[in-house]
Structure 1
Amino acid sequence: MNYAEDRNRRMLRARDTMDRRYAEPLDVAALAAVAHISPAHFSRVFKATFGETPHRYLQRRRIERASALLRETTMSISDISTAVGFGSFATFTRTFGQIIGETPSSHRLRSGDGVAPTCAVKSLRRPA
């Protein structure tokens, strides 16, 4: 196995951990340990591999899950914020707005329209 393949496998292992454990407190040091590299090197390599920092990837993953919970459940927005791993409701709403482009409450209201096929709705609502 060459260096690039090994590096990519390590980054995929860390990203898979983030996908599985998105609601838990994850820091760069813990993710770097999963990838078996130093924390400083991990951040650089992750961004080079996936095009965004580990922190931004984790935030986006959490917001994707929050978006699904807003559409599919009647949980309060505050409970959803906590369930997806945000320690601060203000940080959750600000991050949600930056990624989705609307507030969590307006997102929930808009999700009940049911005019388009589910596949189209999911494609349009997937954060960039």
Structure 2
Amino acid sequence: MAFEDLAHLRRARDLMDREYARPLDVPTMARAALMSSAHFSRRFRAEYGETPYNYLMTRRIERAMALLRRGDLSVTEVCVEVGCTSLGSFSSRFTELVGETPSAYRTRDHTAAAPVPACYSKTMTRPSRI
């Protein structure tokens, strides 16, 4: 893959990392990468090992986990806050990636992780498909 293509893919990935709560679709991400939608989807998957949509949803779930650990927002509020429009789809994807429902995750005691620096916590709690 050409160096320029990697830079363009990284630009789209950075857009997803930064603007995860915004409504993003593949054509919008492809424009950020200066590629057609189909080419972008193929190149993104080849480079990062998952589709652009799955990457975006993983970022959203990751942020939702942080908001749920705080405990001051309901699951519905967290769903909207991270940019998901369907509570059912959000809950299903959350359960798939995290292994428990958002409500169960929210009510679990997270105080043991409180003294852990954020950079380690982010790495250790990152949702992933097994």
RMSD between aligned alpha carbons? 1.7
Task: Determine whether 1:32 maps to 2:33.
Answer: no
Which residue of the other structure, out of 47, 50, 63, is the alignment partner of 1:49? 47
1:7-40 C-alpha deviation (Å, 9 max, x unpaired)? 1000000000001110111111111111111111
**Structure 1: segments with no counterpart, 5+ residues:** none
**Structure 2: segments with no counterpart, 5+ residues:** none
Q: Which residue of 1 aligns with 2:124?
A: 124
Shift of 1:113: 4.1
What is the alpha-carbon distance in structure 2 between the residues aligned to residue 86 and residue 31 of structure 1?
Answer: 17
Aligned positions, number: 126
TM-score, structure 1 normalization? 0.90
TM-score, structure 2 normalization? 0.89
Contact 2:71 2:106 in 1 (8 A): no
Shift of 1:122: 4.3
Q: Which residue of 2 aligns with 1:106?
A: 104
What is the alpha-carbon distance in structure 1 between the residues aligned to residue 2 and residue 80 of structure 2?
Answer: 37
Percent identical: 46
